[in-house]
Amino acid sequence: MLAGALVMALLVGVLPAHAAPGGQARARARATAAVDAMMKFYDPASGRWDPEAPWWQSGNALQALLDYMAKTGSTRYMPQVKNTINEQRKPLPWWPEGGGEFRADSTDDTGWWALAMIRMYDVTRDKQYLDIAKTGAEYIHKYWDDMCGGGVWWDIPNKSYKNAISLELHFKLLASLHNRVPGDRTYLERAKQAWRWFAGSGMINSAGLVNDGLQTQSGSCASNHGTTWTYNQGVVLGGLAELYKATGDRSLLTSARRIADAVIASPELSPKGILTEPCEPDGTCNSDQAAFKGIFARNLDELDRVVPGHPYRGYLRAQADSLYAHGRDGQNQYGLSWKGPFDRADISRQDSAVSLFVAVL
């Protein structure tokens, strides 16, 4: 029984970090306070965190909350979690042809919510949530075609762009499903295919960083050398960690570590050792981009838990310590910059902070 529990803990990602008990208590207190502050943005009527914020961000906030629940065992906010799922799984007003179950007019939006359903299954063991994630995976897979040799389209109505985030979310979702569906082969083969395509797509540049997408608008299918947003560096790490659990192929960890190490070494993304979004220095980050760093932290944690020696634990703790010391207001709300100072509070900044503090638990 003990061995089985350890295997399940590794699969879900809830094994505690190696830290002194006092340090873990402080880390949990910080995470709990950040979660409580995040819930002040929650709107029970809609089931969203700030109904004016982009829809996908409520899916990301739900993931952050469920990650916290998975690691701490807390069920305090389970009523709000279930309310969100019940309300948001309905057909979307702007995309009713999706038919509900988080099927949206952009594949990445579906991917965020489907991955949250994976974590809801981990927390509850209720297969209805795994079934919703399967629906999302099949929906995204419908938009895989031979343009540029493979990959999924980001924008469903227009099919004008194949990018990193939609593909990364897709293959992470596929690998996650394989790891939770006994006897599966289909999801695993699709996940392997998606990673092979992505690895050869040109979106991973010579510095080991992931550019935003391909020049599908022009038909050249070359990398657009677009901004190396932190979430593009992150989701691939979590996907490779899941695929490694599925296959035991250590070359996947090598690929993941090259990307993670490139972020840490980058003078743009980690100046003076603190994770920074490329838009931060010129003050142009929008509400989407303000959420990206937490997504990186979540996925770096997932990678760190399967790499011997936990090489990224120190980096993650340094981020959390810096944000707590320099980027917090008096109500446990957090700003954009993880080196500070606090600028303002919104759901994207807050769920990013929650994901960081949960990552170090």
Q: Where are the domains of the chain?
A: 21-359
Amino acid identity of 72?
T
321 burial (CB, 10 Å; 0-12 / 13-18 / 19+) is: middle
Alpha-carbon distance of 188 to 175, in angstroms, equals 6
Angle among Cα 232, 238, 32 to the nearest 5 degrees reads 95
Alpha-carbon distance of 321 to 189, in angstroms, equals 40
Between helix 313-326 and helix 347-359 the angle, nearest 10°, is 140
Q: How many CB atoms lie within 10 A of CB 148?
A: 17
21-359 CATH:
1.50.10.20
Alpha-carbon distance of 221 to 215, in angstroms, equals 5
Report the pLDDT value the prediction gives residue 6, as an integer from 0 to 100.
Answer: 37
Question: pLDDT tens digits, the chain, 361 residues: what are they?
Answer: 333 333 334 444 444 444 456 899 999 999 999 999 999 999 999 999 999 999 999 999 999 999 999 999 999 999 999 999 999 999 999 999 999 999 999 999 999 999 999 999 999 999 999 999 999 999 999 999 999 999 999 999 999 999 999 999 999 999 999 999 999 999 999 999 999 999 999 999 999 999 999 999 888 999 999 999 999 999 999 999 999 999 999 999 999 999 999 999 999 999 999 999 999 999 999 999 999 999 999 999 999 999 999 999 999 999 999 999 999 999 999 999 999 999 999 999 999 999 999 999 9
Report the pLDDT value the prediction gives residue 21, as an integer from 0 to 100.
Answer: 65
Taking the complete model, does pTM exceed 0.85, yes or no? yes
